Structure 1
């Protein structure tokens, strides 16, 4: 289904008039890119960080894998109502998930005392180590903790606030690594080695970086959206030191929270924000991510129906109810096989109790296509900014790099990845980017962050001992 086929010219012109604010020309995307760059600089600045909408958080991850990392590692992935414990074996140029265990978190623990939560995690870790006959070993741990945190060091991370239904007392404002270690110490039946705190986007970059050491950018486009990349230390003003690089967690979902995207927001975006549980924040994310795309389509369809351009002008309850038009419907409707796409659209509109004809099917397809394309193009504008920045940091005429990617929107939408990649080429012609889908960023990726931290610590100890020997000589 090509969207505009089978729509009478007059109707097509009227529908396109409604969709026009949602279509972003290359000129507009370059403008957005410039604004994003300005916010990145603000986020990295010591005196400007506090007022930046793109927070540019230092992760204290100072290198990507080089293929020499090896050893056994534990990974802990906490970000929802279940958490995972994994054993990961890192060998030269290969990463193998040996085994894992999923542990549910009961509702009463999610809203209970913080000590209860960490005692529960420690108990599940103990059970897993028993099953692996690893109780006597002290393994390093990669800890993916997918809640808003301020990272102070690779092994020190302060919880800013709970999200996703968690509300454990005594944790906000505290170092979660310390709380985990205290819970393990209370048990006295196992120990862990060094701990590396891992953001899920950083885990994505690392998991794609092992077979390919050129991976220095990662993006997630799923329920939410974010990106990270390797920045030159001389530009990271909030962390001491000028040499080398550090991975920066951009938190790009907040781009526009300061009003810098106001002239690009449509009436539909404003309505999404007005009815959201977090008004005024995550502006960029609300234009892009899977949590909101379905509702943007729903609001456009509602407007077209009210203006008598769709569904014989009859608005159903579903069109007036948030969440009824699911984001996955967009992928179903935009199937490359026209026949399947039309059948899917018929079924979806029937389930939503809408009175439709054949022309309506094509109009709905055109709306879905416009919204998903805008999402891909906005992502491309921000990603092109990051790639160009890396290229300029290094004084290169051409940059060759890999982008690690994860998230259901990127993985499951039939044309999203193609639209994104095509537009990045247009906006960053001097950057040759290869896109690699992440395999278990929060598990394998977390173990790799720890492996790299261990390698750097070993190298640092070697350098220290060398310099001591020099002094003795």
Structure 2
């Protein structure tokens, strides 16, 4: 039957079908601007819950600095497999094992399977060690409240396992491990695979603070200034943030960019209307985009295979875009679809696959540019890692070429991460261990400055005793707390009105102020002021010289304000200990009136 479907694709037909995938630089700039706006909504406490780009904090406060040491277990959950790693020494090498993952129907089965794989891996190591620290790579959206606690928001990428959404995946895994009762394994960190990618980069090349993953889906992360992550209490230093940008466009922000093929892929997915950005980039969906394009191109010549979902694989697309084996792979794929194609048709198939992959790279570049622009407002930009196995051989090159015009204010270097997220998860555990050791050292240093509640109670009692001595006439002279009267007998009640001069004497300068107090309807309190300096020779000279200088400045201020000849009450801020005998009279040293 396949021999009857001989195809000839015209140039005009190709151009027409691929036109929706061609995104101009101006279009990518619009995507970048919308992504940046969506990111900022996700960071804001006020709009976070409505944001399509969630910007989830990871509670990772630092990237590797090259001093990390230790031995850690890593459990890496993938789309189709589960990997267990052992990272030791300087965290540069390790041993690992991979198990095929059959998605269980219930949560206990999933986490019991993980715990079993961990124990079997440790059995194979033949180690006498029984206590281990574990980093858990979990590539799905989680709401983290600390480094070792993460509540699954939702499954994505076709992954379904009831009973996990809304629950702490660390608690579920720890419980399953404890039931094995063979090894003492403590889960110290749950990390998104994107964060693991960022943390896996070699620290010797400089800090790497942006991560980008493109595999079955797509995601990104970066080290944000903690003060901008309003959904957490921490405001000092930096905070790792996972963007969860796969859901960008779920609110319609990408409607003018989506092609008819994207709508068809979305309608045939497990979650229509969700993860719109990811469905244009992730490897799980690229095969379906290509298949729908082929259905349009070969209209009238379709076959049952071509109309069957899932028969065009992403791996086939990657091979077709390869300059060496691409045409041969294209012919093999077309034949598998029941189509007998010419050399020209195979070349056209290669063009289709390249267009789909290059659009994915362009959209990633727009998202990456949004992250860089956000970071560049505050500080210089470090290197940005791109994970292994890019969608096309020139993926990193395309990213680099497009990021520059999309974020011209930023300098960024794209580098390949090592070993995906596995090494990075161990690095997260190591960094957490290093920071914990630093905190312990700081706490020990500051321990001598800490006062217990009992000690504070004693200070309170002593201070109160001195205050009472200072208030009594017969003991005032012997008190260390002077308790000097000010002769201010009431606080403002809102009925005060009038114009007043005020002097505010500081260290090396002072202010002269004109304060006009009116009702709220008449404008409330209005203040005009000017700052005058106090020359060193005046500040260190006789008191009469200081006050003569102050009067000269008052006259200058009155002249500038057109107030000469006006008589106004004056208040004087004098920030030095004085013995007052009335509201407008004080005595300084030597019982001299000031």
Quote the Cα distance in structure 2 between the aligned partners of 1:23 and 1:375. 11
Cα distance in 2 for partners of 1:240, 1:323 equals 45
Specify the alignment match of 2:144 in structure 1.
151
Cα distance, 1:392 vs structure 2: 1.3
Alignment of 1:421-460 (within 5 A): 421-460=400-439
Q: Give the Å deviation of 1:13.
A: 3.8
Distance 1:13 1:192 in 2: 62
Determine whether 1:95 maps to 2:92: yes
Q: Report the secondary structure of 1:421's partner residue.
A: helix
In the alignment, the residues of structure 2 paired with residue 39 and residue 231 of structure 1 have an alpha-carbon distance, to the nearest angstrom, of 15
**Are 1:248 and 2:213 counterparts?**
no
TM-fit CA distance, 1:134: 4.3
The structure-2 alpha-carbon separation of the partners of 1:42 and 1:209, relative to structure 1 and needing over 3 Å to count, comes to farther
State the alpha-carbon separation in 1 of the partners of residues 235 and 41 from structure 2.
18
Distance 1:371 1:335 in 2: 14
Contact 1:69 1:452 in 2 (8 A): yes
SS at 1:263's partner residue? Answer: coil
How far the C-alpha of 1:76 sits from its partner, in A, is 1.5
Structure 1 residues 415, 79: closer, same or farther in 2, change over 3 A?
closer
User: Cα distance, 1:287 vs. partner?
Assistant: 0.9
Matched, 1:27 2:26: yes
> Closer, same or farther in 2 for the Cα pair 1:158/1:299, shift >3 Å?
same
Task: Give the drift of 1:358.
Answer: 3.6
CA distance in 1, matches of 2:113, 2:128: 17
Question: Is 1:167 aligned to 2:161, yes or no?
Answer: yes
CA RMSD of aligned residues (A): 2.5
1 or 2, which has the higher helix percentage?
A: 1
- Does 1:402 find its partner at 2:383? yes
1:342 equivalent in alignment to 2:315: no
* 1:369 matches 2:354: yes
1:52-77 CA distance string (max 9 Å, x none): 11111111111100111101111122
| Residues in 2 aligned to 1:192 and 1:244: alpha-carbon distance in whole angstroms | 30
CA deviations over 1:208-242 (Å, ceiling 9, x no partner): 14444421111111111111111110110010121
Give the Cα–Cα distance (whole angstroms) in 1 for the partners of residues 420 and 320 of structure 2. Answer: 29
Report the CA distance between 1:266 and its aligned residue. 1.3
Q: Once the two structures are superposed, what CA deviation does each residue of 1:144-199 show, in whole Å capped at 9, x if it has no partner?
A: 12333221110111233456555354x44332222333334344443234611111
Equivalent position of 1:462 in the other structure: 441
Secondary structure, aligned partner of 1:142: strand
Distance of 1:238 and 1:246 partners within structure 2:
11
Judged with a 3 Å threshold, the aligned counterparts in structure 2 of structure 1 residues 471 and 383 are, in CA distance, closer, same or farther, namely: same
Judged with a 3 Å threshold, the aligned counterparts in structure 2 of structure 1 residues 238 and 135 are, in CA distance, closer, same or farther, namely farther
Aligned twin of 1:203: 196
Shift of 1:142: 0.7
CA distance in 2, matches of 1:122, 1:422: 44
Structure with max Cα Rg: 2
User: After superposition, what is the alpha-carbon deviation per residue over 1:22-79, rounded to whole angstroms, capped at 9, x for unaligned?
Assistant: 1111111101000000000011111211111111111111110011110111112234
**1:321 counterpart residue number:** 308
Q: Which residue of 1 aligns with 2:283?
A: 290
2:74 corresponds to which residue?
75
Distance 1:241 1:19, change over 3 A: same
Partner of 2:552 in structure 1?
A: none
The residue aligned with 2:132 is: 139
Equivalent position SS for 1:279: coil
Name the counterpart of 1:226. 219
Q: Is the CA contact (8 Å cut-off) linking 2:141 and 2:244 kept in structure 1?
A: no
1:238 aligns with 2:220: no
Whether the aligned pair in 2 keeps the contact of 1:30 and 1:381 (CA below 8 Å) is yes
Question: Which of these residues, 420, 425, 437, is aligned with residue 399 of structure 2?
Answer: 420
Superposition TM-score, scaled by structure 1 size: 0.86
Q: State the 1:273 CA deviation.
A: 0.8
Distance 1:295 1:105, change over 3 A: closer
Q: Are the equivalent residues in 2 in contact too, given 1:59–1:151 (CA < 8 A)?
A: yes
Report the 3-state secondary structure (helix = DSSP H, G, I; strand = E; otherwise coil) of the residue aligned with 2:196. helix
Kindly state the Cα deviation for residue 419 of structure 1 after the two structures are TM-superposed: 1.7
Distance 1:204 1:430 in 2: 25
Cα distance change on mapping 1:23 and 1:198 into 2, 3 Å: same
* DSSP 3-state at the match of 1:77: strand
Q: Is the 8 A contact 1:135 1:189 kept in 2?
A: no
Change (3 A) 1:342 1:117: closer
Q: Please report how far the alpha carbon of residue 202 of structure 1 lies from its aligned counterpart in structure 2 after TM superposition.
A: 0.6
| Structure 1 residue 130: Cα displacement | 4.0
Classify 1:157/1:315 alpha carbon distance in 2 versus 1 (closer, same or farther; 3 Å).
same
TM-score normalised by structure 2 residue count: 0.69
Q: Using the alignment, how far apart are the partners of 2:395 and 2:114 within structure 1?
A: 37
- SS of 2:285's equivalent in the other structure is helix
* Aligned residue-pair number: 443
Corresponding position of 1:383: 368
Gaps of 5+ in 1: 1-7, 307-312
**Deviation digits for residues 305-338 of structure 1 (CA, Å, limit 9, x no counterpart):** 33xxxxxx5222233222222222332222224x
* Cα deviations by residue, 1:422-449 (Å, 9 ceiling, x for unpaired): 1112212333332222233332111110
Q: Contact 1:201–1:228 at 8 Å: present in 2 too?
A: yes
* Residue 252 (structure 1) shift: 0.9
SS in 1 for 2:316: helix
Higher RCO structure, 1 or 2 (CA under 8 Å, sep 6+): 1
- The equivalent of 1:36 in structure 2 is 35
Deviation at 1:351, TM superposition (A): 2.6
**Gaps in structure 2 of 5+ consecutive residues:** 1-7, 452-594
Select 1:351's aligned residue among 299, 319, 336: 336
